Amino acid sequence: MADLPFEPASTELIGRLLGSLDVEGKVPRAIEALGPVGGRDVVLLGGGRTRARQLEELGARVVSMGDWTGRIDLPDGSADVLVSFWSGFRSASIEELREADRVLRHDGRLLVVHDYGRDDVSRLRGDLPEYGTWSRRNGWFLKNGFRIRVVHCFWTFDSMDAAGSFLVDTFGPLGAAVIETLKRPRLTYNIAIYHRTKGGRSASAATSGVTAG
């Protein structure tokens, strides 16, 4: 999947959601703040051309892009920043960190984007690890040198009818139930960017790392 944390049933539905998602550009701005990526060699895992274009508009040189397979086809120390969107680092393994560190240069930055939850969108997607265990102080990410930047976004639609149509077409009865609770044609959507410098830090240093953006 290219630019979304889940796969709508049709290309038409993907287009409808992408037209409403992240209209304020908050995620690219947060990535630049946490990287930065401007003027640097960047590996992009997941995200597709939409995210690659956003990084390039920030001045990044996207040297490689593709889905996360557990192995990055680049030499050691060949990138300044690695940005992973949704599909990467789901198994929460030390091997994944070692592979990321291998391709990063000294003081290289690893940014891992996942849903955070505590929002309207999480009510549509069920009980997922990114909504609970991953972001806890004793969770895998914080224990392995990551800090968290939470980016508060929205799925914003032109009208309540447009929001209801998308939610019902995509999520069925669950979407219909959520639309009944909304007062405006938008859903709150929180995105976590787990960020870490190559080699990480001690777990004690990471436990204070939740910030909002």
| Minimum mean pLDDT range among 11-20, 67-76, 116-125 | 11-20
177 part of a folded domain: no
Residue 211 is predicted with a pLDDT of 54
Residue 67 is predicted with a pLDDT of 84
Domain that holds residue 70: 11-155+190-199
30 part of a folded domain: yes
Res 36 pLDDT > 90:
yes
107 part of a folded domain: yes
pLDDT digits (tens, 9 = 90+) for 88-114: 888 878 899 999 999 999 999 999 999
Across 124-151, average pLDDT: 91
> Contact, 59 vs 37, CB < 8 A?
yes
Residue 41 is predicted with a pLDDT of 98
Res 198 pLDDT > 80:
yes
- Token digits of residue 87: 């599909």
171 part of a folded domain: no
Q: How many domains does the chain have?
A: 1
37 part of a folded domain: yes
Res 147 pLDDT > 90:
yes
pTM (2 d.p.): 0.87
Across 140-152, average pLDDT: 94
pLDDT digits (tens, 9 = 90+) for 110-127: 999 999 999 999 999 888
Report the CATH number that the domain containing residue 139 is assigned in CATH.
3.40.50.150
| Minimum mean pLDDT range among 7-16, 47-56, 160-169 | 7-16
46 part of a folded domain: yes
Question: Taking all residues of the chain, what is their mean pLDDT, rounded to a whole number?
Answer: 86
Long-range contacts of the stretch 121-127 (C-beta < 8 A, 24+): 121/155, 121/187, 121/188, 121/189, 121/190, 123/174, 123/178, 124/167, 124/171, 124/174, 124/175, 124/178, 125/6
Smallest Cα–Cα separation from 49: which of 37, 70, 66?
66
